[in-house]
Amino acid sequence: MDFGFTAEDEDFRAEVRAWLAERVDATMERRAWERALGAAGWIGLGWPESGYGNRTATLTQQVVWAEEYSRSGAPPRSGHIGENLLAPTLLAHGSEEQKSRFLPPIAAGEELWCQGYSEPGAGSDLAGVRTVAVREGDHYRISGQKIWTSLAHEADWCFVLARTDPDARRHHGLSLLLVPMDQPGRTEVRPIRQLTGTSEFNEVFFDGARARVEHVVGGEGNGWRVAMSLLGFERGVSTLAQQIGFARELAEVLDAAVATGAVDDPVLRARLVRQWAELRVMRWNALRTLGGGPAGPGAPSVAKLLWAAWHQRLGELAVEVRGAAAAVGPADWSPGSPYPLDAAQHLFLFSRADTIYGGSDQIQRTIIAERVLGLPAEPKGAV
């Protein structure tokens, strides 16, 4: 595999090989962990149906499980996209054959999924998708590019939003296809190296990739409706687990502020108190929403705006309370190799993306303006 490196230094090459081996090892460990969770029956608790190798749980039980999983410091999940996004979508819109084929491997932790939505010219404005799927007999031939595809380098399958009617505009003529990733020469994954030096996000290129006709979810041309339904599953019980992680990060920032004496600064101390108070408000709001309280059409957008900005401010505080020491890495590094970061540095750098992924702040404000406040719609061209 050619990574474009020209350096002849053997130490440099050894570092690169070690990084690649570590990445492979981490992938195998995450897969093994997913299988262990599946064998114990902990995947699919929130599905409205059982019988696919999963067991169901009440909403309260789901909340307890999600919070305790996060509180225990258990590994990040590789299978959450299949479990929490695709599976509920198949249960709502899929055929019996699709459910029987895809849900058991998800519940067992055997097949991992990624989400093929965003494109270079169609990120938050999802209706601008240009990836094309052309029907040829019993399959579709898919051509196009997806970007910011989380965990695509580990996924076995991808659910892809593609245009099956080239004459339709915007959200018309789209379909959601289930596409196998293991198609050499037809599917290529290119990791995107981020500020943190890691590569959770990827570019995915489809060059004649194939998807079977029976693997179109909800029928051809109904992709927009299915895709919007899927996005509705993105925020739920997992929000509370996310907040447990936020609380742990906040506690670490507070400990650092006390250790460095930064907490003696009244302005900074007030900012820390604000972070604590806002996190409590987000938790009670999430519980109210899950409990069936009045949410409103813009509730998910409001929640996204709140937690994304909150987490970015926490990242800024994480380095600010440490002063100049925050600019020093925990270990030596050499140019071209993955650079080490401590937890606070990683939090600061990675949280810069919080207001972009999952629907940018600008798009969330547009949704609130149009769907909640009833303001005139933003011009989007011909429909």
| Residue with token string 């270990």 | 331
Mean pLDDT, to the nearest integer, of 224-236? 73
- pLDDT at position 23 is 52
- pLDDT at position 178 is 97
Least confident of 20-34, 246-260, 297-311: 20-34
52 has a pLDDT exceeding 70: yes
Just list the catalytic residues. 234
Question: What percent of the chain is predicted at pLDDT more than 90?
Answer: 45
| Cα gap 213→138, rounded to integer Å | 5
59 has a pLDDT exceeding 60: yes
Decide the pairing of beta strands 157-163 and 113-116. Answer: parallel
- pLDDT at position 143 is 96
Sign of the alpha-carbon dihedral angle for 271, 273, 276, 277: negative
| Cα gap 302→278, rounded to integer Å | 13
Q: Could you write out the DSSP letters of every residue in 134-152?
A: EEETTEEEEEEEE-S-TTT
- pLDDT at position 265 is 95
16 has a pLDDT exceeding 70: no
pLDDT in tens, 157-192: 999 999 998 877 777 889 999 999 999 999 999 988
- pLDDT at position 338 is 62
276 has a pLDDT exceeding 70: yes
- pLDDT at position 303 is 84
- pLDDT at position 380 is 62
Structure tokens given for 228: 């919007």
- pLDDT at position 195 is 84
- pLDDT at position 172 is 84
